[in-house]
Structure 1
Amino acid sequence: MSEDSPLLSPSGEGEHEGLIDAQAVLADDPQDDQWQETKSLAYMMLLTLSIGGLQLAWAVELSNGTPYLLSLGMSKSLMALVWIAGPLSGALVQPYVGILSDNCKSPWGKRTPFMVVGSIATVVSLMCLAWVREVVGGLLGLFGADRTSEGVKVTIIVVAVFFVYILDFSINTVQAGIRAFILDCCPSHQQEAANSMASRVVGIGNIIGYVAGYSDLPKYIWWFGYTQFQILCAIASIALSTTVLISIIFIRERDPRLEGPSPKGKKGIIGFFKTVASSIKHLPPQTRKVCEVQFFAWIGYFPQLFYSSSYIGDIYVQPYLIKNPNMTPEEIDTLYEMATRMGTFALLIYAITSLATNVLLPFFVAPSYDAEYEASIHSKSDNTTWLSRFMEKLVIPWLTLRRAWLCSHLIFAGCMFSTLWVRSIGGATALIGIVGISWALTLWAPFAIISAEVSKRDKLRRQRNIQAMSDPDSDTEHAVFEKEDQAGVILGIHNMAIATPQILATIGSSIIFKFLQKPRGVPGDRSYSVVLAAGGISTLIAAWLTSRIQDEVPLPTPAEEHFRPATREERRSLNQERNFVRSHSYTSLGY
C-alpha cells in the first residue's frame, strides 16, 4: 500500500510495520464519517420499526397457532413435530440467509432484498394458513369431494403443516435481514441504544399481539375474516408489510459494491456447512462467549415461553377438579377456557413488565460498550444541558449491561424455582410478570454486546477494502487480509445458539411430561412446575458464563490481524472494484 496512507503505521515503527492501527481507524475514518455520526431518536425508531411488525407476526403464531391447528383436527403428537419447525428453521435458515446477505451486491443494499422477499413470503403463508380450510375445501369441492370427509380433513391438515413450515422459514429470513440491517445502519457507538430501541419495539409488538388475541375481533373488525385467527393474520400481515416498507424507504444501506469482492467459496449445502463450521471456529471472542451463554439460557427460556400460561391455567383448575372430580367433558372444556384466559392475562403482565424494563432500565445502565465514544465526546466539549446532566446522575456506575444481564439470569432462575411451591393465581402471575424483566434483557443485552463488537470490526474491514480498491499503488499481492465474517453470518450463528437448545428443551420437557403429566381433567398435575424449574438450573450456568464476559469490547490489535498473499483471481477482482469505486461515492443519509 501507499506509504502516505493514514491507515498504515509510519515506516519502521513497531514490530508490526505496515499493519492497520485499529484505534486510529476508529478515531479517524473520513470515508466512513457519515455512517458513524450520532443518529437521532427518529432515525433509531425508523431503523427498528420493522422488527415490531415482525414480532406481531411471531406473537400471532405462538399464541394462536396451536389452538387453530387443533381446530383443524390435528393430534397433539403431530403438533410437536409441527412446532419443531421453529427451532430447526432458526438453526439453519438464519445462518444461511446471513451468508447470502453478507455476499449480496445488490444496489439496494445487502439486507433489504431479503427483508422484502421474506416479508412477502410471510404474508402469503400467513394468509394461506388462515384460510386453508376454505381454500382447500373449496378446491376439492369443485371435484365433487365432500368437505366433511376424512380425506378432505387430512388434506387440509397436510397443507396447513406445509404453510406452517413455510411461515417459519419466511419469518426467520425476515428476522435475519432485520437484525443485520439494524447492526449495519447504526454507528458503532450507538449499538447499545439501537438494540435497546429494538427491544422496546418488540415489547410493543408483543403487547399489541396479546391484546388483539384477548379481544373479540370478529365482533369489531369482521371485514378481515370470519374467525379470530383469520383477522389476527390479516393484522399481522398489514403490520409487517407497513413497518418493513417504512424502514427500507427512510433508512438506506451502504452500497455493498463499494466494499470489495465477495469471498470465493464452495456453493451448495456442503459449502454452507463448511462455511458455518469455519465461522463458528473463528467467532470474535465476545460473540463466542455470548453464544455460550445463550445456549444454556434458552434451555430455560424456551419452556417458560411455551408453558407459562399452562402453568397459570393448571393452578386455576386444580381447586375445581378437586372439588368436583366428576365433571362432564363440556364443564371441563369451559373450565380450561377460563384457565387459558388467566394464562393470557399473566402473559400480558409479562409483556408490559418487559416493555417497562426496556424503556426505563437504559437510563440506569452505564454505557460500557459506548464508553469510549462518550468519553471522547465529553473531552471535546463541556457544553451540557441540564437534561443531560440529570440523565448522567441516573446512571448507576457499577450496573453495566453485562452485569444487568447477569442479574436477569439470577432473577429468572429464582422465579422458575419458585414455581415448585407457588400455587396461587396472584403469586404465579407475579412470578411470570417478574420474569418479564429477564426477558427484556434477553432481547437487549446479547444483541448489543455482539453488535458493538461486530460493528467495530466491520468498520475496520470496510476501511481496509476501500483503501485497497481506491489506492492504485496498493500492493494487493502482499497486503490481503484473511476473510472476516460479517454481521449476517455471525448473527445467524448466534441464532443457532438460541435455536439448538430449544430442540433439547423440547425433548427434555417431553420426557418430564411422559413421567409426570396426568390426563386432562385429573387433579394433582405438577408437571409444568417441574419443567419450568428444570429450566432454571440451566439458567444458573448461563449466569456463571455471563460473569466471564468483558465489559468492554476488545478491538483486534495489529498482532491479531492475519495476512496472506492474494490469488490471481482476487487481484483481478480487486482491480475491477477499484474502477467502480473511482466513479462512485457514498451518499449522505440526511439524518
Structure 2
Amino acid sequence: MSATFSGSSHIIGPKWSRIPLLTTGVLGLQIVWSVEMSYASPYLISLGLTKSLMSLVFIAGPLSGLIMQPLVGSLADRSTLRWGRRRPFIVAGTLVCVFGMMLLGFTRHFSNIFTSPLSHANDVLTIILATISIYLIDFSINAVQAMDRALIVDTLPSGLQDLGNAWASRMIGIGHVLGFFIGGISLAQLPFLSVFGKTQLQIFSVLTSFILAATHAITVIAVREKRLLQEPTSEGSRSVLKVFADLWTGVVTLHPIIRRICIIQFFSWLAWFPILFLSSVYVGDFYRAEHSMAKVIRDVSDEIDDAANLRGARAMFFNSLLAMTTSIIAPWFISESDPEEPQTAAWYKPKIHIATLWAVSQFLFGICMAYTFFVRTWQEATVVVALTGFSFAITQWAPFALIGQVIHDNPAAVPVPNEPETQALLQNSSSEGYPDETSRQVSPIRRRSAERGSNDSRSRSRESRISERSGLDDGDVHKAGVVLGIHNVFVVIPQFVMTGISSLVFAILEPGKGLEDPGAEVPGSSPGALHALNVRVGPGGTRSDSLGIIYRIGGVSAIASGVLAFLLSRQLQRRSTLPAPTT
C-alpha cells in the first residue's frame, strides 16, 4: 500500500531566502559540535575524570550516530503527526539538546542542589551529571541532524538537491568558523556577557543554546511539510523491533547507487576520523617538539602548552575557513541537473559533475595525508590540516546531494506522461514555494523514465520489478529518514574501526604510552617534552610519528574512496546520456 499524504511541502518567504531558511538549523548544529569538541574534554579532565574513562564518555558520539539517526529516521518516516514528520522531532531534539548544554555548563550548580559543596559526593555527582550531559547532547543532536537532512530531501525537488545540500555545507562552514572564533574570545571578561555565567564554558553554553534554538525555530516556522495520513504498509506496529527490522530490510535492499555512496563514505570516514579529532594535537605536538629545550632550560611548560593548544585551534580555524569558502564557491562549477538547461555563459563557467568533484576532493585529501611523511614543523602541519578543509566541504555536500537525487529520480515513483500527476510534475512552479526555475529542473533520469513509460508498458513494469529489489518502491521514495540513517551508519562505523587501528599503532610504536599517559618521559629525551600520541624525540634524535602513520593509513583509504567516487561519476554520467529506448 502506498503512502498517503495531504498538503504540499514548501518554504514560505521570498524566493532568494527559501533554501537558506531551510538549512539555517544546520548552522546551530555545528556550533554545538564546536563547543563539545573544544571544551568538553578539558572540562571533564578538570573535574578529575581520567583519560581512560573519558574515552568511554566520548564513545557517545559515534554510538549515538549509530543508533539515533537510523532509529529516529525510521520513526519520523512513519509519523502521522499533524505538524509533519520531521519538525516535531526537530523541536523535541532541540529542547533536549538545550537542556544538555545547560547541564554541561552549570553541572556544579546542579550538583550543589543535591549535595554539599566541596564534598566528595559533590565531586562524584558533578562527574556523573557532566557525563549525562554529554550523552544527552550527542544523542539529541544526532536526532536533530538526521531530521535536518531529511527535511532537505523532503522539501526540495531533484533539481535543487545539489543546491540545498550546498547551502547545508555552507551553514556547516559558517558554524565551524563562528564556533572556533567565539570560542577563542575570552567571553568571561566581557561585562555584558557576565549575566550568563562566570566561566567561559557557562557563557558559551548559554550562547550556543540560544543559537541552536533560534536557528531551528526559523527553519520550523518557515518550512511547511506534507502530512502523512496513511503509512505505506497496512501494519500498524511501531515497535522498536519493527523499526530495526525495517532498517535491516532497508540495508539489504538499498538502492544500488545509494549503496555505492555508502561504501565510498565508509572508506572516506576512515580517513576523516583522525583529522577531525586529533588535528589540534598533531599541530600542537610539533610546536612542543620545536620548543622542548626551552621547557628544560626555563620553567615555561605551561606557556608552551598554551601556545601549542592555540596553534592547534588556529589550524582548525583555517580548516573551517577554507571549508566555508569552498562551500560557497564550489557549486558554481557543478554541471546543471538538466543537460537541456540553456548554457548562456558556458565560456566562463566550467562544469564538473558533482560525483567527479567528490572524487577529486578525496584524491587531494589522500595527497595531503601522504605529505605528512615530509612534515617537520608546526607551520607545515598547519598547512596540511588547513588544506583538508576543501575536501571536508565537498564531503558534507556531495553524498547528500547525490542521495537526494537518487531518491527523487527513482523510476518507480515517476508517473507516466499524459496523466495528471505527470503534468503537475512537469509544470511545477512557485506555487509549491520554490523558484520558478524548478519547473525546468526535472531530472533527465526522471524525464526519460516517464518517456519509457508512455512508449513501452513492459519497460515500466520492468522498472517496477527493479525498484522492488532496490528497496525504493512507490512508498519508500518518501522514506528519506531511513535512507539517511543507513547512510550515517556507514559514516559512524569507520570511527570505531579507526579507533581500534589507532590503538594498535600506539601499542606497537609506543608501548605503555597513550592517551592515559600523555606526559610520559622517553629515555634519553627531554623530560615531559612531547605528547605521547605523536612526535617524540628519542636517543640520537630519532622520531616516532604515530599520528602521522595513522594519517597516512587514512590517506590510503581516502584514495580508495576517490577511485570509487570516480567510477560512480562515470556510471552516473553514462546513465544521464543514454537515449530513451524505442518501441
Which TM class, normalised by the smaller chain length? Answer: 0.7 to 0.9
Q: Which residue of 1 aligns with 2:247?
A: 276
What is the identity, as a one-letter code, of the residue corresponding to 2:493? Answer: T
Aligned residue-pair number: 493
Per the alignment, residue 236 of structure 1 pairs with 208
Alpha-carbon separation, structure 2, partners of 1:451 and 1:535: 27
Identity across the alignment (%): 33
How many Å apart are 1:326 and its aligned residue?
6.6
Query: What is the aligned partner in structure 2 of residue 151 from structure 1?
Result: 121
1:200 to 151, 170, 177: 170
Alignment partner of 2:267 out of 289, 296, 303: 296
Task: Report what 1:384 is aligned to.
Answer: none
Contact 1:186 1:194 in 2 (8 A): yes
- Is 1:527 equivalent to 2:567 in the alignment? no
Q: Is the 8 Å Cα contact of residues 36 and 186 (structure 1) preserved in structure 2?
A: no
Task: Give the deviation of 1:514 after TM superposition.
Answer: 2.9
User: Partners of 1:403 and 1:165 in 2: how far apart?
Assistant: 37
State which of 476, 486, 502 in structure 2 corresponds to 1:484. 476
1:361 aligns with 2:330: yes
Contact 1:452 1:553 in 2 (8 A): no
> Are 1:300 and 1:539, in contact at CA under 8 Å, matched by a contact in 2?
yes
Q: Contact between 2:368 and 2:388, CA under 8 Å: does it hold in 1?
A: yes
User: What one-letter code is carried by the residue in structure 1 that aligns with 2:270?
Assistant: I
CA separation of 1:333/1:262 partners in 2, compared to 1, >3 Å: closer, same or farther?
farther
Shift of 1:152: 2.2
Measure the CA separation in 2 of the matches of 1:339 and 1:516.
Answer: 23
- Per the alignment, do residues 394 and 285 of structure 1 end up closer, same or farther by CA in structure 2, a change over 3 Å counting? farther
Instruction: Report the Cα distance in structure 1 between the residues aligned to 2:548 and 2:63, rounded to whole angstroms.
Output: 26
Alpha carbons of structure 1 residues 37 and 245: separation in structure 2 relative to 1, 3 Å = closer
Structure 1 residues 135 and 35: alpha-carbon distance in aligned structure 2, compared to 1, 3 A threshold: closer
**Deviation, structure 1 residue 71:** 1.4
1:188-337 to 2 correspondences below 5 Å: 188-220=158-190, 221-257=193-229, 261-262=232-233, 264=235, 267-325=238-296, 331-337=300-306
Mapped partners of 1:308, 1:538: distance in 2: 18
SS in 1 for 2:572: coil
Contact 1:453 1:554 in 2 (8 A): no
Letter in 1 for 2:338: A
Map Cα deviations across residues 90-149 of structure 1 (whole Å, 9 max, x no partner).
0111000000010011121110100000000000111011111121034212xxxxx333
For residues 42-441 of structure 1, the aligned pairs below 5 Å read: 42-141=17-116, 147-220=117-190, 221-257=193-229, 261-262=232-233, 264=235, 267-325=238-296, 331-367=300-336, 370-372=337-339, 375=340, 378=342, 389-390=344-345, 392-397=346-351, 399-441=352-394
Q: Deviations over 1:182-207 (max 9, x none)?
A: 11111211000000011001110110
TM-score with structure 1 setting the length: 0.78
Instruction: State the Cα distance separating 1:272 from its structure 2 match.
Output: 2.9
Which residue among 566, 572, 578 is the counterpart of 1:551? 572
| SS of aligned partner of 1:396 | coil
Does the aligned pair in 1 maintain the 2:146–2:485 contact within 8 Å? yes
Conservation of the 8 A alpha-carbon contact between 1:125 and 1:163: yes
- Report the residue type matching 1:433 in the other structure: A
Label 1:81 to 1:36 Cα distance change in 2 as closer, same or farther (>3 A): closer
1:323 Cα offset (Å): 4.9
Note the aligned Cα RMSD (angstroms). 3.1
Q: 1:408 to 1:199 in 2, by over 3 A?
A: same
The Cα of 1:554 is off from its aligned counterpart by 6.2
CA contact (8 A) 1:48 1:198 kept: yes
Against the structure 1 CA distance between its residues 324 and 202, is the aligned structure 2 distance closer, same or farther, given a 3 Å change threshold? closer
| One-letter amino acid of the counterpart of residue 232, structure 1 | F
Q: Hey, what's the Cα distance between the residues in 2 that align with 1:336 and 1:216?
A: 18
- Answer whether contact 2:327 2:393 (CA < 8 A) is retained: yes
Change (3 A) 1:252 1:37: closer
**CA drift at 1:153:** 1.4
For 1:211, the aligned partner's letter is F
CA deviation string 1:269-318 (max 9, x = no partner):
43233211110011112111110001111011011001111111001010
CA distance in 2, matches of 1:91, 1:245: 26
Q: Deviations over 1:59-100 (max 9, x none)?
A: 111122111111111110011111111101101110000000
SS at match of 2:373: coil
User: Aligned AA for 1:360?
Assistant: I
Distance in 2, matches of 1:38 and 1:222, equals 36
In structure 2, the residue matched to 1:540 is 559
- The one-letter amino acid of 2:228's match is P
Shift of 1:37: 13
Distance 1:553 1:269, change over 3 A: farther
SS at match of 1:371: coil
TM-score normalised to structure 2 length: 0.79
Match of 2:435 in 1: none
Secondary structure of 1:420's counterpart equals helix
Unaligned runs of 5+ in 2: 422-463, 520-527, 537-544, 579-583
Q: Is the 8 A contact 1:101 1:111 kept in 2?
A: yes
Cα distance, 1:394–1:452 mapped onto 2, change above 3 Å: farther
User: Which residue pairs with 2:426 in the alignment?
Assistant: none
DSSP 3-state at the match of 2:245: helix
